[in-house]
Amino acid sequence: MKRVFSILMLAVLCLGFTACSDDDDDKKVTWPEEISDTHSYTKKLLVAEGAGFDIPLEIKLEDFSNVKDFQDKIRTAEAKAESFIKITGVTEGEHNFETLTLRVKGTNIQLVLTNVDKDMTYNGVKTDLPFLDKVVERLAKQKEITLQIKGTSDKKINEDVVLQLNLSALFKMRK
């Protein structure tokens, strides 16, 4: 009798633990369909007079705080209209860049800015800067890219010349 009672109690306990378990097969982990995020990068251009420069700018997906927990879920990404490239200190320092090239390292994705002789802001992602769309797309796929900033200055550049890259992106997630 004790044995039957023990087996019955054990069966009831097992059933109780199974019924009260938090492990629900019907629950699915969900994440947003889209996430918007912005991150700004700043690079000082320090070079000697007449010297060429090739300055790397590391861009990482984890820099975008809203998407860093969903990096493996990103399907595609596109730059938003708030994205821009701004160059300051050129006018005040009376500098001149015949060409200033921004290239995603290891690719043909590049933007060539010519006759940069004053402070400028380049925006208009869809019209003037489809380059930033390609940068964001590549970042979504590779999680980390290097943007090479290349050019030649007609005079020595001090810390006053700054390139600011503001990347505002819409990340679309896999279902």
Mean pLDDT (the chain) is 85
Class of 31-173 in CATH: mainly beta
Indicate the helix (H) or strand (E) that contains 137.
Answer: helix 130-142
Placement of tokens 């821009």 in the chain: 84
Percent of the chain with pLDDT over 70: 80
For residues 44-66, give the mean pLDDT: 89
Q: What is the pLDDT of residues 76-105, one digit of tens each?
A: 999 998 999 999 998 888 888 888 999 999
Which of residues 94 and 56 earns the better pLDDT score?
56
Q: Is the pTM of this model over 0.75?
A: yes
The CA angle 43-46-50, to the nearest 5 degrees, is: 135
The CA distances from residue 133 to 26, 66, 72, 83, in Å, are 38, 19, 20, 9
